[in-house]
Amino acid sequence: MHIDRHVEDGALWLTLSNPDKMNCLGLAEYNGLADAVIEASADDTLDVIAITGSGRAFCTGGNLKEIQSEQAKGELPGKVIIQRFADASLRLFQAIESSSKTVVAVVNGYCHAGGLSIVLSSDVSIASDRADFCVPEAKVGLADPYAPLRLARAVGLPRARWMMYTAERIPAAQAFEISLVNRVVPHETLIEEARSLIGVLQRTSPTSRAIYKKCLNSDLPAFSRDIMISANASPDALEGLRAFVERREPIWPSRQGPRIGGA
């Protein structure tokens, strides 16, 4: 499991530490992060949780190679494997949203797929000017039912549609302009600025923040586990995962007629 943790002035810092794989999340990482958040939520000596990454990435979402590798073994049906990842990701996002602690996303780099869902789950976000943000699932035939309404709530429906339908990368400056993140700072000062932000938060009442959080999250839609499982076990999803591992363009089974760019 590639997660480092340390406590600093009443804040638990969780650092994804698999930079060679852009801090993607396997089952161990999803569950490990969720466990850490849940444990911190029960610790009265902590009132802030900070999540960040090491290297060039904050988090690039689920480990697609792990999913494809498990499917290739043939030991479990594809839907069972997807179900395990769906359950693990749901557990993490719900742990962040339901935590009584204030969760700060400290976005040091690439923030894609499940990484963006961590930001959307968090209460406050601060990003490096080198960060970028992306909803790339459609490029590999996947879909994340957790993100759409939360993304639309943050940036507005037209921008959310654009990000999901095009899988276009959004640079940090634009992410700030559309209210996807709260603050953008020079990369070299990110951690220092995050510590300063945490200090500002800690000068306010933990109880007040917890109540505000509960009120703000009370109207969030429920996560559809069944939709995620069915969407991510579709023929398009299976082809997208194969194409990703094989480093080629997918040929979507759901597209009838001539291929784009050729007959």
**Which domain CATH number covers 40?**
3.90.226.10
How many domains is the chain built from?
1
Task: Kindly give the pairing relationship between strand 110-112 and strand 102-107.
Answer: unpaired
Alpha-carbon span 82 to 70, nearest angstrom: 10
Please choose, from the candidates 103, 124, 96, 112, the residue with its C-alpha nearest in 3D space to the C-alpha of residue 223. Answer: 96
Alpha carbon of residue 120 to chain centroid: 7
- The type of residue at 56 is R
Question: Percentage of residues in the chain with pLDDT exceeding 70?
Answer: 95
Residue 262's pLDDT is what? 47
pLDDT(188) > 70: yes
Residue 257's pLDDT is what? 59
Alpha-carbon span 95 to 34, nearest angstrom: 6
Is residue 248 domain-resident?
Answer: no
Is residue 131 domain-resident?
Answer: yes
Alpha-carbon span 168 to 20, nearest angstrom: 23
Q: What is the mean pLDDT of the chain?
A: 92
Is residue 243 domain-resident?
Answer: no
Residue 256 or 152, more confident? 152
Domain range holding 153? 3-217
Residue with tokens 């800690």: 202
Per-residue pLDDT band at 259 (split at 50, 70, 90): low
Residues 131 and 110: beta-carbon distance below 8 Å: yes
Residue 255 or 233, more confident? 255
Residue 222 or 247, more confident? 247
pLDDT, tens digit, 9 for 90 and up, residues 47-73: 999 999 999 999 999 998 898 888 778
Question: Which residues 6+ apart lie within 8 Å of 210 measured at CB?
Answer: 100, 101, 102
Helix/strand/coil (H, E, C) string of the chain? Answer: CCEEEEEECCEEEEEECCHHHCCCECHHHHHHHHHHHHHHHCCCCCCEEEEEECCCEEECCECHHHHHHHHHHCCCCHHHHHHHHHHHHHHHHHHHHHCCCEEEEEECCEEECHHHHHHHHCCEEEEECCCEEECCHHHHCCCCCCHHHHHHHHHCHHHHHHHHHHCCCEEHHHHHHCCCCCEEECHHHHHHHHHHHHHHHHCCCHHHHHHHHHHHHCCCCCCCHHHHHHHCCCHHHHHHHHHHHHCCCCCCCCCCCCCCCCC
Is residue 104 domain-resident?
Answer: yes
Residues 144 and 228: beta-carbon distance below 8 Å: yes
Residue 70's pLDDT is what? 83
Q: At what angle do helices 78-98 and 27-41 cross, to 10 degrees?
A: 20
Is residue 236 domain-resident?
Answer: no
* Residue 251 neighbours by CB distance under 10 Å: 13
Is residue 240 domain-resident?
Answer: no
Is residue 47 domain-resident?
Answer: yes
Residue with tokens 């499940």: 114
Is residue 249 domain-resident?
Answer: no
